[in-house]
Amino acid sequence: MAKIQPGLERISQLLRGVHFPWQSIHVAGTNGKGTICHYASSLISKKKSKLTSGAFTSPHLIDRWDCIKINNNPVDESIFRKIEQHYLDLNLKEGINASPFEILTATAFTIFNEERVRLAVVEVGMGGKLDATNILNNQAVCVIAKIARDHEGFLGNTLNDIALHKAGILRKNVPYLISPQNETNVKHVITEYGDQIGAIKTDNTVLPRSFYTSPGWQHASNQLRSMQQTNLLLAAVATIKAYESLTLRFTPTALTEDLYKISSPVNHSALNPGRLEEIKVQPVFGDPNGINTSKIKGRRIMVDGAHNPDAAKFLADHVNSVQRRKKRGEKRKTVIKPPRNGWRVTWVLAMTEGKDAEQYLSILLQPGDSVITTTFGPVDGMPWVKPMDPKKLLKIAQAVHPAITGMAMPRDGVLRALCAAKFLADPQGSIVLTGSLYLVGDFHRELRPRRAQDYMTAPEYEEDRKRFKAMLQTEEKRVRALFGNPHAQPSTQDSTIEESPFTPNTSPDLEQVDVDSEEQDPRQLERERWSNMQAELATIDNTLDAIAEEELNVLKKWAPQKDESRKEEEEKEKNGVEEKETSDEDEEHGKEQNESNEIEETDEQDMLTIQNEQAKQAESFHSPEMLEGLTMLDEKEPPKTHTTHEGDQGPVTRHQGLPEQLKMGNERT
């Protein structure tokens, strides 16, 4: 079967004589197009119009057929395989030499016909103009998401060339939307092409201003970051325009109710797996003894399919402003504030061969972070997709930031890599799995049979739990051997390595990092230096908070006493004036002056008292070591009390009116 071959000849032969009675929301772009499709599909499926809807996105996440959905649910496997086999036979019989993606596209569109779909959301595979999905002639609306450099070998080396390919999905007299996240020259290229063919440029003015003050949108804008807000807004407008094309009504009021549900953290992860997805991994981070099984215990990890520099910027922005800055602990007394530079992150990474790993990693990594490089297995239907060698990827990471700690996992096995990450990560730090959607797919495939609520206790999972226990022990031993015990994390219940398929004596997976001990020592020393510095700064921050709280308590205690003293003096002054009304004006003025002096003297005495109390409090908090730490703190910048998110359009602000970053081209660019 052929590899990637842009062009419409083969898909035209596969679908010869096939018509498309349904209409489509056609979405192209580099980053965000999948998210827009998931949002739009969810909005359509939540409507009560009994409209049968479809969705076709790529690549698939777990199974090949889960990229085709009917009413937002994966198509039945038997239906998929029946229609796919028809096109596999046709391809072989007529010698079409179609690619796997072209077979998949023909299968999806035929399933939509069979299921009597009225509206389908279709994601472009690559580019737009020559993509197999562009065989469609039934677009209700087209959407161009954020465009960045990717697939340059097929689409061109400049953003303008890539933008022109994406604009190829536009149609005459069909409305289209452009993401405001795009650069000005990109929007200009798309708009110019749209004008040439007679496409209708539209924007978010179809939404009334009351939409932006509705509870649904306010909730969505608070839950989602800038780029995701934009993607959700694009999906909402595209859905409204598609309903207009079908002569159906989609009211903004009903829309805001759906936005509220879609943008909640739980639903967002469910609707957008692999996109800022936070998830618990029971086998790795759960309770090894099956205790507290009423809820899934254990730390969450973040899973994101960012695979190019532009997507890495969005992921890094979220990690740096949220994950690194999170306070840890559940109760007020046990809350731990992040150190000044934020918590360190442990990255579990795999990338496709040919990607710009150096630029990608330079965006994500920070000094002191940890990296575990791994790989992914064969991609179903895409035999030409190969993962980058983990050892090569690790060397690139170490070249980008020599201060990082890293190790390579030469064979595929995402959960094994997470076992190592458990012991390499800071207790308070985050673990982020990223670099490829194929890695995300492997993760979900490995985790899927182990997500049962009773996984930690049910007898049928006992053998699997034993394997994971042995795997955890093996990876703990390896991390300790390579890096010592940098975070003093508690080990597993039984530190003896069990004989199992995962032990060093039987598993070739245990070949590890091609780094000798002499090369490892400087990085370990640098890591320990960072750890000590961040711990010291965290201690100083907590001490300053305690000092401020004590001083505030003293001031609160002193303030009422001072008020009563003033009242007594004022009462005496009032009585004195009433008793001596016959005194002359000069004598009365003299008494008032004396009383004023007495009050000032009282104030001075009160201030001396509070200063003495503060000095006593300071003695209890300011040990010589602490004074030295406070001196260090004074020489540095003051701690930030908030973070500013820099989006593609500059700092993001929130207000009740139309958000500036969400205006979608009311003016021509």
What CATH number does residue 438 fall under?
A: 3.90.190.20
Q: Is the dihedral of CA 154, 158, 164, 167 positive or negative?
A: positive
**Residue 597 resides in a domain:** no
Residue 198 is classified by DSSP as T
Residue 641 is classified by DSSP as S
Residue 540 near residue 630 (C-beta atoms within 8 A):
yes
Buried b (16+ CB within 10 A) or exposed e, 315-336: bbbbbbbbbbeeeeeeeeeeee
**Residue 144 resides in a domain:** yes
**Among residues 45, 47, 27, 29, which one has the least CA distance to residue 37?**
27
Helix (H) or strand (E) holding 532: helix 517-579
Strand partners, 24: 120, 139
Same domain, residue pair 296 and 406: yes
- In this structure, how many other beta carbons lie within 10 angstroms of the beta carbon of residue 560? 9
Residue 102 is classified by DSSP as H
Cα–Cα dist 306/436, whole Å: 6
Residue 508 is classified by DSSP as G
Of 456, 481, 515, the position where a domain reaches its end is: 515
Low-confidence ranges of the chain (pLDDT < 70): 1-4, 47-49, 150-156, 205, 222-227, 251-257, 260-272, 286-298, 327-334, 412, 485-669
Same domain, residue pair 241 and 381: no
Same domain, residue pair 266 and 283: no
Write the secondary structure of 319-360 as one string of H (helix), E (strand) and C (coil): HHHHHCCCCECCCHHHCECCCCCCCCEEEEECCECCCCHHHH
pLDDT recorded at residue 217: 76
pLDDT recorded at residue 4: 65
What's at 303, amino acid-wise? V
- In this structure, how many other beta carbons lie within 10 angstroms of the beta carbon of residue 519? 11
Beta-carbon-side half-sphere exposure of residue 188 (alpha carbons within 13 Å): 6
Residue 141 near residue 25 (C-beta atoms within 8 A):
yes
Same domain, residue pair 197 and 294: no
Of 515, 541, 575, the position where a domain reaches its end is: 515
**Residue 604 resides in a domain:** no
Alpha helices in 263-413 (DSSP H): 265-271, 282-285, 309-318, 357-364, 390-400
Query: Cα(first)–Cα(last) distance of the chain, in Å?
Result: 43
Residue 191 near residue 669 (C-beta atoms within 8 A):
yes
**Residue 208 resides in a domain:** yes
**Residue 620 resides in a domain:** yes
Cα–Cα dist 361/346, whole Å: 13
Residue 365 near residue 401 (C-beta atoms within 8 A):
yes
pLDDT recorded at residue 178: 95
Residue 511 near residue 473 (C-beta atoms within 8 A):
no
Reported as a single tens digit per residue, the pLDDT across 314-373 is 899 888 888 887 766 655 556 777 777 788 899 999 999 988 999 999 999 998 899 999
336 phi, psi to nearest 5 deg: -115, 125
Residue 430 is classified by DSSP as E
Same domain, residue pair 187 and 287: no
Reported as a single tens digit per residue, the pLDDT across 107-148 is 999 999 999 999 999 999 988 899 999 999 999 999 999 998
Count: domains in the chain: 3
- In this structure, how many other beta carbons lie within 10 angstroms of the beta carbon of residue 388? 21
Of 272, 299, 321, the position where a domain reaches its end is: 272
Q: How far is CA 234 from the centre of its chain?
A: 19
- Record the pTM: 0.66
Same domain, residue pair 258 and 361: no
**Residue 667 resides in a domain:** no
**Residue 601 resides in a domain:** no
Alpha helices in 580-642 (DSSP H): 585-621, 624-635
Cα–Cα dist 444/274, whole Å: 9
Q: Is the dihedral of CA 132, 134, 137, 140 positive or negative?
A: positive
pLDDT recorded at residue 663: 46
Same domain, residue pair 387 and 462: yes
Q: Is the dihedral of CA 15, 17, 21, 25 positive or negative?
A: positive
Strand 650-651 to 646-647 pairing: antiparallel
Cα–Cα dist 156/161, whole Å: 5
Q: Is 564 exposed, middle or buried (0-12, 13-18, 19+ CB in 10 A)?
A: exposed
Buried b (16+ CB within 10 A) or exposed e, 148-160: bbbbeeebbeebe
71 phi, psi to nearest 5 deg: 50, 40
Helix (H) or strand (E) holding 197: helix 184-197
What's at 661, amino acid-wise? Q
Beta-carbon-side half-sphere exposure of residue 21 (alpha carbons within 13 Å): 9
Same domain, residue pair 254 and 302: no
**Residue 355 resides in a domain:** yes
Same domain, residue pair 550 and 429: no
Cα–Cα dist 77/422, whole Å: 36
Same domain, residue pair 211 and 318: no
| Sequence-separated (6 or more) residues with CB below 8 Å from residue 473 | 492, 494, 495, 496, 497, 498
At 29, which CATH number? 3.40.1190.10
Go through the chain and tell me how many residues it has. Answer: 669
Which residues form the domain of 237? 14-272
Residue 374 to residues 193, 392, 558, Cα–Cα distance (Å): 43, 10, 62
Residue 409: strand, helix, or coil: coil
The CA radius of gyration of the chain, in Å to the nearest whole number, is 32
Same domain, residue pair 262 and 293: no
User: Assign residue 62 a region: left if phi > 0, alpha if psi is -120 to 50, beta otherwise?
Assistant: alpha
Same domain, residue pair 342 and 474: yes
Cα–Cα dist 547/613, whole Å: 12
**Among residues 414, 90, 165, 114, which one has the least CA distance to residue 279?**
414
